Amino acid sequence: MPDLRRVLVLGSTGSIGTQSLDIARANPDHFRIVGLSAGQNREQFAAQAAAFGLESSATALGAEDAERLVRDVEADVIVNGITGSVGLGPTLAALETGTTLALANKESLIVGAPLVRQVARPGQIVPVDSEHSAIAQCLAGGTRGEVSRLVLTASGGPFRGRTRAELEEVTPADALAHPTWDMGRVVTTNSATLVNKGLEMIEANLLFDVPFERIDVVIHPTSMVHSMVEFSDGATIAQVSNPDMKLPIALALDWPRRIPGAVAPIRWGDPDFEQTWTFSAPDHENFPALRLARRVGEAGGAHPAVFNAANEVAVDAFHDGALSFLGIVDTVSEVVDTYAAEPGPVTRESLARAESWARESARQRILHRA
């Protein structure tokens, strides 16, 4: 009988949160849900709390209440499935408790990296993103000194192969039609612009302490290879599975143990499974987000926070009809280029100021584009 892990889920009504609850429900001998937080979908949230028999003291609505919940509820693992930089506070609170953090909220690590690194213990953060989970699994195949490169795979989104002229006509509905993954509005749009892969590149640098010049991104449309690690002897180890987020979520909930039957395995000899896997370089000219993210990550400090905040505003403007698809990354680039970093160490207050400036700068630039 495995140890029963007490799980606190932040962002329980989102994609990561609901799948975390599905895994716990399917594995009652592995997991017990001890707390939930959400920022919206009150009816769904209430139904979740009732289904797991949680009292009001074990639930919270809103990011600030989520921080309180993290400190008040005893858990073995905390899932941060909150979307956006608002997840930074709960991330820091979770790390301060010493609890294992299953991190799906990449923005909190990217935006608050200097603060996160101050409080995180080695191995305390377990990645939920499929790419970073894949890398963590592949790294078991060698020692740190033997790692040559990290290779993040990207589906290329729904607009792979399109020219800049064709991208001018993209609509919000088009951007939400991801070919592989079922995600929320922001993440799906970020996947279409490749901003999401840029954020994942920064996240890989922070999680695994590998410099940017040794982190590559390749386009792999079928999303069967979730990422790879190249070692010094020329070997490359890849993590391969059907594209289903329940695998990395289940692994993060019980890291490093695997949950039997988390997802359906690939039937390699099955006639229905006949695929040709391709890998190609990203189109940096028509999708400049990767180069911009690399530059932002190398700059460090509050630059990633500025990048992320400007992008959140631009994505909202795109879906509101106030900005073109290409205008998203163009706006973010302009904001990043004009940002003047504050002197001194990064603090939560200085990050908040940088984000506020970036959001306002993005809004003004979007107004001028209209």
The domain locations on the chain are: 5-128+245-253, 159-216+283-369
Say what percent of the chain tops pLDDT 90: 88
The tens digit of pLDDT for each residue in 187-237 reads 889 999 999 999 999 999 999 999 999 999 999 999 999 999 999 999 999
Whether domain 5-128+245-253 has CATH 3.40.50.720: yes
Strand bridging mode 236-240 / 215-219: unpaired
**Residue 167 CB burial class (10 angstroms; 0-12, 13-18, ≥19):** middle
Q: Residue 319 and residue 171: Cα distance in Å, rounded?
A: 8
pLDDT tier, 84 (very low <50, low <70, confident <90, very high otherwise): confident
How long a stretch of residues is the chain? 370
Which residue, 234, 332, 241, 345, is CA-closest to 292? 332
When pLDDT is cut at 50, 70 and 90, the band that residue 1 belongs to is very low
The domain 159-216+283-369 is placed in CATH, from the list 3.20.20.150, 1.10.1740.10, 3.90.1300.10, 3.30.420.40, at 1.10.1740.10
What pLDDT digit, counting tens, does each position of 226-281 carry?
999 999 999 999 999 999 999 999 999 999 999 999 999 999 988 888 899 999 99
Whether the model pTM is above 0.85: yes
